[in-house]
Amino acid sequence: MGALNKQVAGNHYKDQEVQPIELAYMLGQTPAFCKVCKYATRIKDDPIQQLNKALHCIELDEELKDYQHLYCKADQEFAEDMIDQFTKDENLRVCLKALHKGDYTSAIYAMEDMIVSEQGNSK
């Protein structure tokens, strides 16, 4: 049994076609990108709190962008294909695609849209 087939507490990652950490490695992405994927897909006890954590990670990624030259990023076309496999949520797709290309404003707006949508669902 490989590590990707194992999960401590739950199965919300290992049941996905592509897991958050796997996507980040495939795309040569930052730890913050991985955490955005993780928080945005583990909508559990307090989904709005999870999405706010994801938003904070986008902000951190922007602040730390001077270190991104250390990552060997996948080209945008491959990244978009893999992101499409990772999630069916259109706002999350827009967010991750924008984040991959360093368009933080669009990534933040897409994550804020997810938060607003979730707030509407929780009423």
pLDDT in tens, 57-77: 999 999 999 998 888 889 999
C-alpha–C-alpha distance, residues 23 and 19, integer Å: 6
Q: What is the mean pLDDT of residues 13-35?
A: 87
C-alpha–C-alpha distance, residues 115 and 73, integer Å: 27
Q: Quick check: 117 pLDDT over 80?
A: yes
CB half-sphere exposure, 3, CA atoms < 13 A:
2
CB 33 within 8 A of CB 100: yes
Q: What is the mean pLDDT of residues 32-49?
A: 88
Q: What is the mean pLDDT of residues 85-112?
A: 95
Which range, of 11-25, 27-41, 84-98, 99-113, averages the lowest pLDDT? 11-25
pTM: 0.85
CB 95 within 8 A of CB 40: yes
> Structural domain boundaries of the chain?
17-121
Q: Quick check: 102 pLDDT over 90?
A: yes
